[in-house]
Structure 1
Amino acid sequence: MAISHARRTTSTLLSAALAASALTLVQSAPAAVAAETIQCKSSSTIYTGLPDKWFRAYPHSEPETGAAQWDPTVIGPQVIDATMVAGPDGIIYTVHDGKLEKRRWNGASFDNNSPEVIQVPWAGWNNTPARYRISVDAKGDFYKVDDAGTLTWARYNASTLTWSERVLDTGWGKYDQVFTSGEGVIWARNPDEMNGRLYRYVYHADSQRWLQYGKADGAGWNIYHRLIGVGADVIYGFTKDGVGFGGNDPASKPNQVIWYRYAAETNTWQGGNYMGWGWNPAWKIIGAPDSCKWVGGTVPQRPGLTEGDNRATSLVQTSDGRVHHLWVDGQGGLVHARQRDLVDPTAADLSTVPQSQNLTGGASLAAQEDGRLLGLGAGTNSSILSSLEPTKDANFPVGKDFGGFTASSPTVVKGKDNLLSAFIVDGNGDVWTRGQNAANAELRPWVKGQVSFPGTTPGPTPKFAARAVTAVADNGAIVVIASDVNGQPWVANYYGNGNFIGGWAALGQPQGTTLASAASAALTRDGTIQLAARGTDGKIYTKRQATDGTWTGAWVKIHDRTFLGQPAILTSTGGTTFVAARATDNYVYETGTTTPGGAIFRTWNLVRGSDFPEPSATDPGVVAMSNGNWVLSYRNEFGEVLIAYATTSGSSIAARTASADAPATKTPMFTVKKTKR
């Protein structure tokens, strides 16, 4: 271990001061060291609140090495009358129902005689189990597990006097101690496994990512009545009554303190160093979370997002039959268009998500199980904005930071289990996901996509391009299609919790060209997936999954017209697959299979209503309606939205069909309406 610290390298033991605290401390040799660089303050401070409410601070002057060298104990006033939590920069909180009392310890005394009182929407943190499951990290963020086992992150904004909170996970009732030891580093003990097993989690709050999730470490941690961290994975354990460590007799040396340090880079533990005794289980014991930190480690970076505002509108039909549109406009706002009535799908009311700005690329829209819409858009700073309707059909509220640190536009889709899942691609070409654990619940943090190959050897995981992934729910998984840096699409089946079971399969390239756009996807009538993408030659190509789930078929060109951007694809409830795209003349054209479920497409048809067609400045978006028709949406150069309602009541196709026993589909007729603000 390379040690860097702003502190002296030796310290003296003042036994007289320590005797007042009923502690006996001994010297021990430094432990073996690990490869990471750790930087500590002059000491790591352990704070205690005694049953008589007296406050004490115990500075351990060798937190890097675990040598049992302590600076003098400092005794504070009688203030600790509730659960005690330590924050960075000497902050000491006492937690009461509905409020925090905040003081700052300067190393010798409290700065403020009267505490600052901060209102909190919490209660129930002053019982014995709960006080072992609330902690603050080196950044000042709270992590707390309630009696229902829900892990919540919370951050206080001192300027606005408001709290931001996120549910990170459920099922944490199995842990009896949850504590931090570094920025976003959470340790949790399961007392029912292996006589006490620790699990390590790392949450990056700004990107809202799990950087590590539930890594199991060691066994036998039940010997401690209390575990605390002081940063950089330095951990102190305080033994239970009657438990001795390393040959130290608990009868003469009760309630011993033991030092450990975990090195994540090498996955090794140092320590098990005896540091002294006398730490009574009746004491409230916490550690200053910013005493130590890692130096030189990597954290998620903002890659920047440069997609333009010519991406397709995201469309959803909700259970009441209305079609909803969402897109990012030229001013960087997130715009929602709601179908005005159930009679006319081309008439819509427009509104902008309040305070949305500096967005770019494409938006994504999905309906929860309860009918409320969730809209996502990515900012130029790589953070995603999310907005969830408070009630069904209510206006979108001011958006919330959805994290991500994404290089691509976001994608959100509802699976057949009625749970939402979101997908992005980061600056390293990795896919990240986040989703709901229960219907209508808050989406959990981003996790990097994990490739699962039960009983097999994993195949390749490509580096993906900074394009929005395509996701469509089939009858089991969510099928995800993403393009690699060479333009080749890959497909995987997503089953939640970051798990791509079976891994990624390459879908190849069309003969004689490569793909220039991402692939759009639709679920066909027989349960297979059909794709559409644009080649570098400007032609539109399609590929269809076989009924056995394989993708052995070739990419097939759909006639010879040339196009821009990414095509859209859908399958109507009648079984016809339609493709729409913006041509090089900037007009939108569509085509469809000549029979339901067929493989032959009729020639491209100009999308127009009774009036002259209007050119498009964006890729088209489409959605299949429950009545067998479909809606197409695009925007012109002035930012106006044009909505086309496609019905199949027009003339029959002239071309012969490929199947004699299947009725020929009809070329759709379009009703088009322009909607202005």
Structure 2
Amino acid sequence: MFTARSARATGARWRRKITAATLTVALSTAVITLTAPTRALAEDANITCTPTQNVFAIKPTGQLMLYKFNDLSSTTTPAFTGNPAQIATGFNTFSKLLAGPDGWIYGIRPAENGSGMFAYHWNGTAFDVFAKPIGGTLFNIYAVQSRVNKITIDARGDFYYLQDDGTLRRSKYNAADGTFTHQPVASGWGVYNAITAVGDGVIYARTPAGVLHRYHFEPTSDRYISHRVIGETSWDTFGSFFTVGGDTILGIRAGKTLLHYRYRIDPVPAGWVFEANDQGGGWDGFIDVAGTSNACKLTKSFVPATPPAPTENNSPVTVLQSSNGSLEYGYTDNIGRAKWGRQTDPTDFGGTAWTPLPDTSAYVGAPALVQGADGKLDITVRAANSRALGFIPTTPNAPLVTVDRAGLMATGVAARKSPVTNKMVLFSVDDAGGLWTKVEGVDGFLAWQKRSSTPVLTGTPVVGPGPNNTLTVIGKDADGTFWAAAWNGTTLSAFSSLGGSGFTGKPAIVRYPGDLLRVFARDADGRIATQKQSAAGTAFPGTWEQIGDAGQTWQGSPGAIISPDTGLVEVLVRGSDGNNYFAQEVAQGSGTWPQFKKIVTKFTEQYAPDPTPFVYTDSGDPKWAFATYNQDFQVRVITASTVTSSTPAKSAGVSKGAATTAEADPAFTVNPLP
């Protein structure tokens, strides 16, 4: 419910004229005039309401009045059951009244009346909770006239409010212990001057020009699922609004009547079930009016189905070097245990300390690691119930902070930080193949937002560098064709096909100086293929070229990296024999790779996941390595060093002790992590 008592009607323009006879009913000291409605869509059975719907109103003299409406889901008249009842006094100390679900109401006092938010619970005959202070000073600013329109409460009792920076924020109240949990939901809402919740996560938002928007946030999945304009003009002519849920809304025109509306989002076509149903005059004299937020409910559930989350055996290790130089690792084993490792000194692999993620859930797939602008590491991993869980290390030896990031997605999560906005962003795919993002907002991540429905994607997307500080997002469709799009920090470009079909696994992305991109992937023949952009920011040519010997086929997805020493692109892959293989570009920018060679070290062990190559800095010296683990889930970091004429080569295909040049095969050293 939102209120602007200073507003005055200047007339309205409605799509339909209101016609019919008028009835007059005396209610208390007010005279309420009832007028028969004009209907739009046929009324439907997709809504249910309690037998009566409670509406609370504050008189200027402080009495809290209770009105019982008959059926605000329809155009039934007369609207009231009996006369209104006075159920409390002294409520004129509040400048804002909110009515939540199941009899909960809340008042916010301005500073001159003592300030603060207070909770009440009406059990149908009396208050069993009265004037309970809640929220501390959190909501005090919404007692100020310029902000009273910017707070509302939905059908499940969640508070939504607009912050001065344009963030829409949600706070959930736990009546048992009086605490709140908070989350930013959306950004860019500074264009609205009033909001009201008309259902479970359904928010109507009004612009100063009188345009009414409908947003739907689904709290169980934490998804922003729809937005549409539902009123083109004239909504600024109302002084205040209230609702009883179920997409009903009642508007009070200053000095005029109470007009009653109901919107239907489903079944299609969406539209107004009825508009401007006249419920009579006399309502503009109240300080504030609010209706029980869940008295009417839509019968359809908008909670997305929970997709299955089967175990992903041998998922790769994820690696990140933080801004303070530490190496951060994450992996999930084959029974769903996930671990995070921190190597404070990049030279001391044996000093890595491992922390198991809380075992309240089994986990699926590789954890996603990213560092926020505040320097904190952020870990997101998919749980076995398809909810994305976030874990944030705070201080040494302190428990991880756990955040439910929901989603109910069909894949794992990819995470990066946008170079444009310096904000973290998560990418995932739903069970219909649509790509969603969850973008960092102020003090937390915003709700998941769908970015694309086509192409229909499968599997966790891969996110890498892109031109002009963008991120490149690559997904694969059911035919095994890869598609690429660019994320600029706020929007996603259209996807373009990389051509071909039958590809398996995930691609690897490298960026050359000048923002040219090259991708590698395993094709339908089991071989590694590649293609490169012809110009920065352009689509890939769509033609793949196989690399390595014709008889070399591979087990998993490739990894690729540009060596900081030589500028050569190194391609890594796992063979069916459990060994890792590499192919080194023959010359910088040549786009030619000879046969893949087995990586030979003093360790004779087999490796389970695909290799994860990464560049890191050791005492200011850039190096490259790759992470993996053996059949016993013992993590290894295998470092690469440039072989010079005085350094014997250790790779297969180069005889021991042979003199080499800087372009010779690198030497590999296995570093066991604890």
- What is the TM-score normalised by the length of structure 2? 0.85
Find the counterpart in structure 1 of residue 431 from structure 2: 427
Secondary structure of the structure 2 residue equivalent to 1:164 = strand
Q: Check conservation: 1:414, 1:421, Cα contact below 8 A.
A: yes
Q: Report the residue type matching 2:172 in the other structure.
A: R
Find the counterpart in structure 1 of residue 503 from structure 2: 515
Q: Check conservation: 2:642, 2:667, Cα contact below 8 A.
A: yes
> What is the CA deviation profile of residues 20-79 of structure 1, one whole-angstrom value per residue up to 9, with x for unaligned ones?
3x1413241462334752222223332112233321122222312334422122221115
Please list, as runs of the form range in 1=range in 2, the aligned pairs for 1:565-584 lying within 5 A after superposition: 565-573=556-564, 574-584=566-576
Distance between the aligned counterparts of 2:177 and 2:390, measured in 1?
Answer: 21
Say yes or no: does 1:52 pair with 2:41.
Answer: no
Secondary structure of the structure 1 residue equivalent to 2:236 = helix
Q: Report the residue type matching 1:165 in the other structure.
A: H
Find the counterpart in structure 1 of residue 447 from structure 2: 445
Secondary structure of the structure 2 residue equivalent to 1:563 = coil
Find the counterpart in structure 2 of residue 178 from structure 1: 195
Aligned pair partner of 1:539 in 507, 515, 527: 527
Could you tell me how far 1:259 is from its partner in structure 2?
A: 0.8
Distance between the aligned counterparts of 2:253 and 2:382, measured in 1?
Answer: 49
Measured at CA, do residues 520 and 198 of structure 1 come closer, stay the same or move farther in structure 2, by a change above 3 Å?
Answer: same
Please list, as runs of the form range in 1=range in 2, the aligned pairs for 1:265-280 lying within 5 A after superposition: 265-269=268-272, 270-280=274-284
Secondary structure of the structure 1 residue equivalent to 2:87 = strand
Say yes or no: does 1:165 pair with 2:159.
Answer: no
Q: Report the residue type matching 2:330 in the other structure.
A: L
Say yes or no: does 1:133 pair with 2:127.
Answer: no
Measured at CA, do residues 389 and 255 of structure 1 come closer, stay the same or move farther in structure 2, by a change above 3 Å?
Answer: farther
Find the counterpart in structure 1 of residue 97 from structure 2: 84
Find the counterpart in structure 2 of residue 146 from structure 1: 163
Structure 2 gaps, min length 5 = 1-22, 655-660
Structure 1 gaps, min length 5 = 1-12, 241-253, 452-460, 657-662
Measured at CA, do residues 421 and 23 of structure 1 come closer, stay the same or move farther in structure 2, by a change above 3 Å?
Answer: same
Please list, as runs of the form range in 1=range in 2, the aligned pairs for 1:198-237 lying within 5 A after superposition: 198-213=212-227, 215=229, 217-237=231-251
> What is the CA deviation profile of residues 298-318 of structure 1, one whole-angstrom value per residue up to 9, with x for unaligned ones?
432211222414211111122
> What is the CA deviation profile of residues 343-377 of structure 1, one whole-angstrom value per residue up to 9, with x for unaligned ones?
34575222223456321112111122333221110
Measured at CA, do residues 100 and 271 of structure 1 come closer, stay the same or move farther in structure 2, by a change above 3 Å?
Answer: same
Distance between the aligned counterparts of 2:583 and 2:88, measured in 1?
Answer: 79
> What is the CA deviation profile of residues 238-281 of structure 1, one whole-angstrom value per residue up to 9, with x for unaligned ones?
112xxxxxxxxxxxxx3421111222342423311221111135
Secondary structure of the structure 1 residue equivalent to 2:468 = coil
Q: Report the residue type matching 1:47 in the other structure.
A: F
Measured at CA, do residues 447 and 526 of structure 1 come closer, stay the same or move farther in structure 2, by a change above 3 Å?
Answer: same
Measured at CA, do residues 328 and 168 of structure 1 come closer, stay the same or move farther in structure 2, by a change above 3 Å?
Answer: same
Could you tell me how far 1:443 is from its partner in structure 2?
A: 2.5
Secondary structure of the structure 2 residue equivalent to 1:101 = strand
Find the counterpart in structure 2 of residue 458 from structure 1: none
Secondary structure of the structure 2 residue equivalent to 1:518 = strand
Measured at CA, do residues 509 and 356 of structure 1 come closer, stay the same or move farther in structure 2, by a change above 3 Å?
Answer: farther
Cα-Cα RMSD: 2.8
Find the counterpart in structure 1 of residue 263 from structure 2: 262
Please list, as runs of the form range in 1=range in 2, the aligned pairs for 1:244-263 lying within 5 A after superposition: 254-263=255-264
> What is the CA deviation profile of residues 168-215 of structure 1, one whole-angstrom value per residue up to 9, with x for unaligned ones?
234434422211001100111111x2xx22122111112111112464
Find the counterpart in structure 1 of residue 460 from structure 2: 467
Measured at CA, do residues 569 and 238 of structure 1 come closer, stay the same or move farther in structure 2, by a change above 3 Å?
Answer: same
> What is the CA deviation profile of residues 139-169 of structure 1, one whole-angstrom value per residue up to 9, with x for unaligned ones?
1211112344432111123456532210123
Distance between the aligned counterparts of 2:177 and 2:585, measured in 1?
Answer: 57
Aligned pair partner of 1:555 in 544, 562, 572: 544
Find the counterpart in structure 1 of residue 638 from structure 2: 644
Distance between the aligned counterparts of 1:486 and 1:55, measured in 2?
Answer: 64
Find the counterpart in structure 2 of residue 3 from structure 1: none
Please list, as runs of the form range in 1=range in 2, the aligned pairs for 1:349-364 lying within 5 A after superposition: 349-354=353-358, 357-364=361-368
Distance between the aligned counterparts of 1:599 and 1:151, measured in 2?
Answer: 49
Length, aligned pairs only? 621
Please list, as runs of the form range in 1=range in 2, the aligned pairs for 1:60-139 lying within 5 A after superposition: 60-69=69-78, 70-72=80-82, 73-78=84-89, 80=91, 81-82=93-94, 83-95=96-108, 100-107=117-124, 109-112=125-128, 114-120=130-136, 122=138, 123-139=140-156
Secondary structure of the structure 2 residue equivalent to 1:407 = coil
Secondary structure of the structure 1 residue equivalent to 2:146 = helix
Distance between the aligned counterparts of 1:444 and 1:85, measured in 2?
Answer: 24
Aligned pair partner of 1:238 in 230, 252, 259: 252
Q: Check conservation: 1:98, 1:120, Cα contact below 8 A.
A: no
Q: Check conservation: 1:482, 1:490, Cα contact below 8 A.
A: yes
Q: Check conservation: 2:394, 2:401, Cα contact below 8 A.
A: no
Q: Report the residue type matching 1:210 in the other structure.
A: Y
Between 179-188 and 310-319, the greater mean CA deviation after superposition: 310-319
> What is the CA deviation profile of residues 638-672 of structure 1, one whole-angstrom value per residue up to 9, with x for unaligned ones?
2221111112235579999xxxxxx9633222221
Q: Report the residue type matching 2:563 in the other structure.
A: S
> What is the CA deviation profile of residues 571-597 of structure 1, one whole-angstrom value per residue up to 9, with x for unaligned ones?
233432222222101122222212222
Find the counterpart in structure 2 of residue 8 from structure 1: none
Distance between the aligned counterparts of 1:597 and 1:359, measured in 2?
Answer: 40
Distance between the aligned counterparts of 2:475 and 2:311, measured in 1?
Answer: 16
Aligned pair partner of 2:614 in 612, 623, 636: 623
Distance between the aligned counterparts of 2:182 and 2:487, measured in 1?
Answer: 28
Aligned-residue identity in percent? 25
Q: Check conservation: 1:54, 1:75, Cα contact below 8 A.
A: yes
Aligned pair partner of 1:400 in 399, 403, 411: 403
Could you tell me how far 1:293 is from its partner in structure 2?
A: 2.0
Distance between the aligned counterparts of 2:596 and 2:177, measured in 1?
Answer: 56
Find the counterpart in structure 2 of residue 605 from structure 1: 597
Q: Check conservation: 1:489, 1:518, Cα contact below 8 A.
A: no
Q: Check conservation: 2:639, 2:670, Cα contact below 8 A.
A: yes
Find the counterpart in structure 2 of residue 377 from structure 1: 381
Measured at CA, do residues 215 and 588 of structure 1 come closer, stay the same or move farther in structure 2, by a change above 3 Å?
Answer: farther
Distance between the aligned counterparts of 1:655 and 1:551, measured in 2?
Answer: 33
> What is the CA deviation profile of residues 519-578 of structure 1, one whole-angstrom value per residue up to 9, with x for unaligned ones?
222223342222222234432222222225232252222323332232222223343222
Between 209-218 and 306-315, the greater mean CA deviation after superposition: 209-218
Secondary structure of the structure 2 residue equivalent to 1:646 = strand
Q: Report the residue type matching 1:283 in the other structure.
A: I
Distance between the aligned counterparts of 2:175 and 2:508, measured in 1?
Answer: 45
Q: Report the residue type matching 1:523 in the other structure.
A: R
Could you tell me how far 1:228 is from its partner in structure 2?
A: 1.9
Find the counterpart in structure 2 of residue 41 from structure 1: 50
Q: Check conservation: 2:25, 2:31, Cα contact below 8 A.
A: no
Q: Check conservation: 1:155, 1:165, Cα contact below 8 A.
A: yes
Distance between the aligned counterparts of 1:323 and 1:644, measured in 2?
Answer: 14
Distance between the aligned counterparts of 1:79 and 1:394, measured in 2?
Answer: 51
Measured at CA, do residues 469 and 113 of structure 1 come closer, stay the same or move farther in structure 2, by a change above 3 Å?
Answer: closer
Q: Check conservation: 2:582, 2:596, Cα contact below 8 A.
A: yes
